Amino acid sequence: MTTHNEFSRCVAQYDPHALPVSAAQAITRQWAKPVTAVERVALRDALDRVLAADIVSPIDVPSHDNSAMDGYAFNGAALPGGAPFVELAVVGKALAGHPFAGPVGAAQCVRVMTGACVPEGCDTVVPQELVERSADSASIRFAADAVRAGANRRLAGEDLARGHVALHAGRVIRASDLGLLASLGIGEINVRRRLRVAFFSTGDELRSLGEPLDAGAVYDSNRYTLFAMLRRLNVEALDLGVIRDEPAALEAALRSAAESADVVLTSGGVSVGEADFTRQLLRTFGDVAFWSLAMRPGRPLAFGRVWSGERPGLGLPALFFGLPGNPVAVMVTFYQIVREVLLLMAGAAPQPLPLIHAASLQPIRKRAGRTEFQRGIACQAANGQWQVTPTGSQSSGVLSSMSEANCFIVLGHEEGDIGEGERVSIMLFHGLI
């Protein structure tokens, strides 16, 4: 078991007030231990689940050599060297599911439909469009250079070979995989149990939907954003509601969250003034690795571990992310820091999110020494080049900027001001948000 010291020591070489994003990602990744429990699920329930073990193909797919075209199957050795035409006698017919059983001689062929087994002794299919049929359909004739030996035949096992790994453990099952598994005759698979993520909002100013908005109050939007982002990752999301800014209430909520979940996400209450309070509280029954990032939005972000018991080491542990309260910062920190950890803990093998180069259509102010994730609207110009414009307000409270945008403009830690037309990196929302 890891000790309190080990947890805090992982940031020792950095300034804990301004941890670079890449360092924060490396630290959080290191604490992401995958869930081990496995469940068996029917194929239709397997979409977006994480495969627990390699799937080894029990059969060849396709199981037989078969025709890729409607046409005529024959032995490619019959293709003459030199002669301009080939003439073959049609000795039978094979449809998908209805093979031709008899022998096929050298000057003979069999009428085949797409998916039909290529008959014994045949290895080549000439498409029907390329042949001339005799009046009684008893023979065909085609140009000798119309096909090469072996053409238009799908080989047994060319899709999936028996004994080979068809899908690797850690794969998040998608639509094609359901079909692929079905093609192997597999109706149930072992997946990791779903990750359990508890989340709640903190703030005396927050009102739940249906409550009146009194002066100075705001509706709690973060729980809805978080719910949706968690839903996309197919984790089990436990909504613990709004918790008031009171140490006792916060402690009780965190401990009960640790009892029931693998990961606890909170929003609000980690910025200046409240930060010390959260940290202090966490120290009594958890560990804090860092609480502030060189990132915008998302500077106040606490990461650590909470325990359901009274002290670190007592009861059940859960990883803890104290996200900022500002609605845009919640989304940015979720996608840039939390998402990968959740995928790793769910047992998946996430790939880095792809970045695309784009020309900025406007100058962008940027201070070196922090990573920024501005909201942008990107499109592809006629020449295929990507172009991006920042959305108007980049305030971390303006959630409409996220709805308006279709990408993050990712401005690296070392980067300074960006001039008009200069190249920036963008991360498209498509497939992510």
CB contact burial 65-97 (16+ within 10 A = b; e otherwise): bbbebbbbbbbbebbeeeeeebbbebbbebeee
Q: Are 302 and 279 in contact (CB under 8 A)?
A: yes
Interface region with Mg ion, contact rule CB under 5 A, candidates 161-169, 317-325, 369-377, 378-386: 317-325
Tell me how far apart the alpha carbons of residues 20 and 29 are, in angstroms, rounded to a whole number.
Answer: 14
Check residue 20 for interaction with ligand AMP (CB under 6 A): no
Q: How far is the CB of 271 from Mg ion (least distance, A)?
A: 7
Contact residue for ligand AMP among 25, 221, 256, 387 (CB under 6 A) = 221
Residue 98, burial from CB neighbour count under 10 angstroms (0-12, 13-18, 19+): exposed
Can you tell me which of 157, 170, 203, 317 binds ligand AMP, judged by CB under 6 A? 203
- Scanning 196-294, the segments in alpha helix (DSSP H) are 222-232, 247-260, 275-285
CB-based contact 266:199 (threshold 8 Å): yes
Q: Which of 28, 201, 292, 374 is close enough to bind ligand AMP by CB under 6 A?
A: 201
Q: Under the criterion CB under 6 A, does residue 218 sit at the interface with ligand AMP?
A: yes
Give the residue from 354, 281, 282, 294 showing the smallest Cα distance to 318. Answer: 282
Select the binding partner of residue 271 from ligand AMP, Mg ion, none (C-beta < 5 to 8 A, by kind).
Answer: ligand AMP
The item of Mg ion, ligand AMP, none sharing an interface with residue 259, based on CB under 5 to 8 Å by kind, is none
CA 91, CA 74: separation in Å to the nearest integer? 10
Closest CB to ligand AMP among residues 78, 206: 206
- Mark the segment that binds ligand AMP (CB under 6 A) among 219-227, 347-355, 363-371, 383-391: 219-227
Could you check whether the bond before residue 350 is cis, i.e. omega within 30 degrees of 0?
A: no
The residue range among 82-90, 107-115, 198-206, 228-236 that interacts with Mg ion, by the rule CB under 5 A, is 198-206
Work out how close the CB of 245 gets to ligand AMP at its nearest, in angstroms, rounded to a whole number.
Answer: 8
Residue whose CB is less far from ligand AMP, 286 or 300: 300
Residue 307 C-beta: closest distance to ligand AMP, Å: 24
Size of residue set near Mg ion by CB under 5 A? 4
> Binding segment for Mg ion among 43-51, 99-107, 324-332, 373-381 (CB under 5 A)?
324-332
Query: Which residues fall within 8 angstroms of residue 145, CB to CB, at 6 or more apart?
Result: none
> What's the rounded Cα separation, in Å, for the pair 46 and 76?
44
Distance (Å, whole) CA 57 – CA 74? 30
Q: How far is residue 245's CA from residue 64's CA, in Å, rounded to a whole number?
A: 68
* Number of residues in contact with ligand AMP under rule CB under 6 A: 17
Binding to Mg ion by residue 300, rule CB under 5 A?
no
Of the candidates 45, 70, 205, 259, which one interacts with ligand AMP according to CB under 6 A? 205
Q: Which residue's beta carbon is nearest to the bound ligand AMP?
A: 325
> Residue 61 has what DSSP assignment?
B
Could you say whether residue 26 binds ligand AMP (CB under 6 A)?
no
**Rounded Cα–Cα distance for residues 407 and 433 (Å):** 10
> How many angstroms separate the first and last alpha carbons of the chain?
35
User: Is residue 62 reached through a cis peptide bond, with omega within 30 degrees of 0 on the bond before it?
Assistant: yes
Out of Mg ion, ligand AMP, none, which partner does residue 206 contact, by CB within 5 to 8 A per kind?
A: ligand AMP
Binding residue (CB under 5 A) for Mg ion from 203, 312, 347, 390: 203
Beta strand pairing call for 132-133 and 371-380: unpaired
Beta carbon nearer to ligand AMP, 325 or 390:
325
Contacting ligand AMP within 112-131 (CB under 6 A): none
Stretch that binds ligand AMP, among 200-208, 252-260, 335-343, 372-380 (CB under 6 A): 200-208
Given ligand AMP, Mg ion, none, residue 220, with its beta carbon under 5 to 8 Å by kind, binds: ligand AMP
Nearer to ligand AMP, 18 or 353 (CB): 18
The interface region with Mg ion, picked from 30-38, 247-255, 268-276, 425-433 by CB under 5 A, is 268-276
Q: Which stretch binds Mg ion (CB under 5 A): 101-109, 160-168, 252-260, 321-329?
A: 321-329
Burial of 222 (0-12, 13-18, 19+ CB in 10 A): buried
- Residue 311 corresponds to which tokens in the numbers above? 């002290």
Phi, psi for 415 (deg, rounded to 5): -65, 145
Phi and psi torsions of 302, nearest 5°: -95, 135
Site string for ligand AMP, 321-350 (x = CB under 6 A): ---xxxx-----------------------
Which residues of the shown chain bind Mg ion in the complex (CB under 5 A)?
A: 203, 268-269, 325
Which residues of the shown chain bind ligand AMP in the complex (CB under 6 A)?
A: 201, 203, 205-206, 218, 220-222, 267-269, 271, 324-327, 397
